[in-house]
Structure 1
Amino acid sequence: MIQMDDSQVKEIVEQQQIGMLCYVHRQTGQLITFPNPEQFSDLESEEWQDQIDQVQSFPDHYWKVAIMTSREEFALMEQFARYEAAEPLQSRLLTILGQSKPFRHFKEAVDRSGSQRLVWFSFRDKQKISWLKQQLTLAD
């Protein structure tokens, strides 16, 4: 199990939200981040090369922090729509989740929902922090 305090876990969630890969040093708990090449294929990696080299040179020293799968992300959106969102947003989100391109349409609906947008961000962040803490307990 890797030991991290709440601020470190929150930092990882925030970094993942902006598309960063996160690695934690197994002994020191040092966090290393760099852009996920799957999301930033056109990004020059030179500025991140030191971090990438450090992880690649000593792969056994670092734990790659798991990222929620799209199925897990969908379940999170569904849970919010069913139990946290207020009407009329709730009905709209439940409809969206049954249609094509639910991720994009969910984001658009939440972005236009006024104060419910902040409720979504708070819910999402709390759930991702909880999920990540569970992943940390499973890490060797």
Structure 2
Amino acid sequence: MKILSESQIKEIAEQMDCGMRCYHNTKTNKLLFFPVELDFEDEVNAEFWQEDIEELENEATNYLEVEKPESHDSFSMMQEFANSTSLDTKFQDKLITVLEMRKPFANFKTCIDNSDYREDWFRFKSNWMQKWVKDHLKMNLEE
């Protein structure tokens, strides 16, 4: 198996964050991406993705799906950010509070979007997702 480059790891993380399913060919390192909600019955979608779909079907044993984090993992990511030392204590307390309330994902997003820490969150999330991809690939390729 070839080792993925940092740019490929980043691409997988970004595509997953945009709602794409990601597949990695463990022999060639080729990456395939499909929308999570791809409707194969829709002729336009099926035609657009047909070549990649056929490749995935024909070489299924060589492709590994890089699964996106589950909601409890995403919640842990938000908690890690909320507990980071780079935040001022007032905002940190606010994030911790919204994570304890109903609808923590929506409340966290609103809180971040209306703060001076929005770019810090995106950097943190990008790094966290890239680590997730690396860990996921390492774990699945060792099996």
The two structures have a TM-score, normalised by structure 1, of 0.88
Q: Which residue of 1 aligns with 2:54?
A: 53
Aligned residue among 94, 97, 116 for 2:96? 94
Q: Looking at CA atoms only, which structure, 1 or 2, has the larger radius of gyration?
A: 2
CA deviations on 1:47-79 (whole Å, 9 max, x unpaired) are 223222321232111010121110010001001
Q: Which moved more, 1:86-95 or 1:21-30?
A: 86-95
Identify unmatched segments of 5+ residues in structure 1.
none
Q: Taking CA–CA contacts closer than 8 Å with sequence separation of 6 or more, which of the two structures ends up with the larger relative contact order?
A: 1
Deviation at 1:45, TM superposition (A): 2.4
Tell me how far apart the structure 2 counterparts of residues 102 and 91 of structure 1 sit (CA, whole Å): 14
Q: Which residue of 1 aligns with 2:78?
A: 77
Q: Does 1:4 align with 2:4?
A: yes
CA deviations on 1:25-53 (whole Å, 9 max, x unpaired) are 1110001001002xx66x85222232223
Tell me how far apart the structure 1 counterparts of residues 62 and 130 of structure 2 sit (CA, whole Å): 23
Tell me how far apart the structure 2 counterparts of residues 2 and 132 of structure 1 sit (CA, whole Å): 15
Tell me how far apart the structure 1 counterparts of residues 91 and 52 of structure 2 sit (CA, whole Å): 42
Query: Residues 9 and 133 (structure 1 numbering): CA distance in 2 closer, same or farther, change over 3 Å?
Result: same
RMSD over aligned Cα atoms: 2.0
Deviation at 1:2, TM superposition (A): 5.6
Q: Which moved more, 1:15-24 or 1:54-63?
A: 54-63
Give 2:76's aligned amino acid.
A
CA contact (8 A) 1:3 1:136 kept: no
Deviation at 1:89, TM superposition (A): 2.1
Deviation at 1:87, TM superposition (A): 3.6
The number of residues matched between the two structures is 137
Deviation at 1:88, TM superposition (A): 2.9
Give the 5 Å matches for 1:18-57. 18-37=18-37, 45-46=45-46, 47-57=48-58
Q: Which residue of 1 aligns with 2:109?
A: 107
Secondary structure of 2:83's partner? helix
The two structures have a TM-score, normalised by structure 2, of 0.86
Tell me how far apart the structure 2 counterparts of residues 86 and 118 of structure 1 sit (CA, whole Å): 15
Q: Which moved more, 1:67-76 or 1:129-138?
A: 129-138
Tell me how far apart the structure 1 counterparts of residues 103 and 52 of structure 2 sit (CA, whole Å): 35
